[in-house]
C-alpha cells in the first residue's frame, strides 16, 4: 500500500506512539507464542530422551506401567488413520470443489457452501460421539468385525473433518486460474468437462496439493474424534486386516493418559515427547504448504 508512505509523514503524537508500539508488540507476539510452545514442549519432553533408553523409546511396545514406552505403535497408528482419511477425502474434496466452483448452478452453491461451513463448525467431540454411537455399529455389522471402533472408522470420521479445509483451499486454487485459460480451451472446441480436467485442474494443481497438505495436517492433529472411534489399542498392526482393527494415534495417547500420570515421571515426559513429534510433523507439513502459497502468491494467484 503506497499511501502509507504519504501517511508516515503526518504529525506525531505521544498517544499515537504508545498505541502503535503496543500494536507492533501484538504483531510480533505470534512469533513469541510459537517459540514459547516449542520451548515448553522441549522443556517437559526432552528429559524423556535422556531418562528412557532410546531403543525402548523407539521400540514396538507401549506398556507404560511396565516401563515400555515404544512410540512406534502410535506413530504407525497416526499414519494409518491419516492416510486413510486423505485417501477418502482427496477425491471427495477435489470433486466437490470442482463441482461448487465450475459446475453447480447458483442455487446449489448457495446450499452447499453453508453446509460445508456447518461441518467445519461441528466440534470434534460431537463428531466422535456420532462416530461411536452411529457409524461404529454400522461398520461392525457390515464388515462382520468384532468391534466397529477401528482404524477405518477413524479414517472415515477424520476424512469428513478434513473435507472443509480441502474444499475451501482447492476452491481458492481453482478460483485463481485465469478466466482466459478456460476461454482458450472452450474456443478451441473443448467441452466444459474437457476444459475442467485438462486445463483448469492441472493449472490449479499446486494449490490442490496445498489443500491436501493442510487437510492432512488437520487430520494428523485431530484428537477427540479419533480417540473416541479408533478403539485405542496401542499395538503394532501386524495382520493384513489391520485397517479393520482397533488402533491408537499419537494424539489420542496424549489425551487419554496425560490426566493420569504423575508430573515429572518418565511417562509424563514421554507424553510430552510425543507432543514434540506431533509439533514437528505438523510444522513441516504446514511449512511446506506455506512455502507453496508464498511462492504462488508472488507469481500471482494460487496456481
Window 53-112: residues binding another protein (CB under 8 A): 91-93, 95-96, 98-100, 103-104, 108, 111-112
For position 300 contacting another protein by CB under 8 A, the verdict is: no
Determine which residue in the list 61, 83, 132, 209 makes contact with another protein, applying CB under 8 A. 132
Determine which residue in the list 48, 81, 161, 163 makes contact with another protein, applying CB under 8 A. 163
Q: 59 phi and psi, to 5 degrees?
A: -90, 180
Region of 65-73, 174-182, 185-193, 233-241 interacting with another protein (CB under 8 A): 185-193
For position 220 contacting another protein by CB under 8 A, the verdict is: yes
Region of 130-138, 139-147, 170-178, 237-245 interacting with another protein (CB under 8 A): 130-138
For position 138 contacting another protein by CB under 8 A, the verdict is: no
Among 42, 20, 11, CA closest to 279: 42
Distance of CA 131 to the CA centre of its chain: 19
For position 115 contacting another protein by CB under 8 A, the verdict is: yes
For position 295 contacting another protein by CB under 8 A, the verdict is: no
For position 223 contacting another protein by CB under 8 A, the verdict is: yes
Burial 62-75 (b: 16+ CB within 10 A, else e): bebeeeebbbebbb
Grid coordinates representing 228?
473416541
Region of 48-56, 171-179, 199-207, 254-262 interacting with another protein (CB under 8 A): 254-262
Contact 277, 63 (CB under 8 A): no
Among 107, 99, 154, 162, CA closest to 132: 154
Alpha helices in 99-204 (DSSP H): 106-121, 124-130, 136-143, 151-175, 179-187, 192-195, 201-203
Contact 185, 108 (CB under 8 A): no
Determine which residue in the list 61, 75, 79, 122 makes contact with another protein, applying CB under 8 A. 122
For position 265 contacting another protein by CB under 8 A, the verdict is: no
**Whole-angstrom distance, CA of residue 295 vs CA of residue 300:** 9
Determine which residue in the list 56, 147, 206, 282 makes contact with another protein, applying CB under 8 A. 282
Amino acid at each position: 500500500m503506497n499511501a502509507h508512505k504519504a501517511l508516515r509523514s503526518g504529525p506525531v503524537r505521544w498517544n499515537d506512539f504508545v498505541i502503535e508500539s503496543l500494536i507492533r508488540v501484538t504483531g510480533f507476539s505470534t512469533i513469541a507464542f510459537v517459540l514459547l510452545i516449542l520451548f515448553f514442549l522441549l522443556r517437559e519432553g526432552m528429559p524423556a530422551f535422556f531418562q528412557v533408553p532410546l531403543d525402548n523409546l523407539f521400540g514396538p511396545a507401549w506398556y507404560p506401567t511396565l516401563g515400555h514406552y515404544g512410540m512406534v505403535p502410535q506413530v504407525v497408528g497416526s499414519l494409518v488413520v491419516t492416510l486413510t482419511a486423505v485417501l477418502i477425502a482427496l477425491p471427495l474434496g477435489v470433486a466437490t470443489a470442482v463441482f461448487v466452483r465450475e459446475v453447480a448452478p447458483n442455487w446449489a452453491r448457495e446450499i452447499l457452501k453453508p453446509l460445508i461451513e456447518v461441518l467445519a463448525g461441528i466440534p470434534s467431540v460431537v463428531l466422535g460421539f456420532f462416530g461411536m454411537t452411529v457409524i461404529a455399529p454400522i461398520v461392525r455389522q457390515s464388515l462382520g468385525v468384532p468391534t466397529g471402533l477401528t482404524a477405518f472408522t477413524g479414517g472415515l470420521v477424520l476424512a469428513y473433518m478434513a473435507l472443509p479445509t480441502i474444499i475451501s483451499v482447492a476452491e481458492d486454487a481453482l478460483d485463481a486460474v485465469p478466466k482466459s485459460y478456460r476461454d482458450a480451451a472452450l474456443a478451441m472446441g473443448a467441452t466444459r468437462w474437457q476444459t475442467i480436467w485438462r486445463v483448469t485442474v492441472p493449472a490449479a494443481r499446486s494449490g490442490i496439493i496445498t489443500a491436501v497438505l493442510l487437510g492432512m495436517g488437520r487430520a494428523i492433529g485431530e484428537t477427540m474424534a479419533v480417540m473416541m472411534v479408533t478403539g485405542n489399542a496401542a499395538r503394532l498392526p501386524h495382520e493384513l486386516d489391520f485397517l479393520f482393527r482397533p488402533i491408537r494415534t499419537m494424539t489420542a495417547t496424549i489425551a487419554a493418559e496425560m490426566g493420569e500420570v504423575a508430573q515429572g515421571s518418565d511417562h509424563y515426559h514421554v507424553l510430552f515427547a510425543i507432543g514434540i513429534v506431533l509439533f514437528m510433523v505438523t510444522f513441516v507439513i504446514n511449512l511446506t504448504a506455506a512455502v507453496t502459497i508464498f511462492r504462488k502468491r508472488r507469481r500471482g494467484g494460487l496456481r
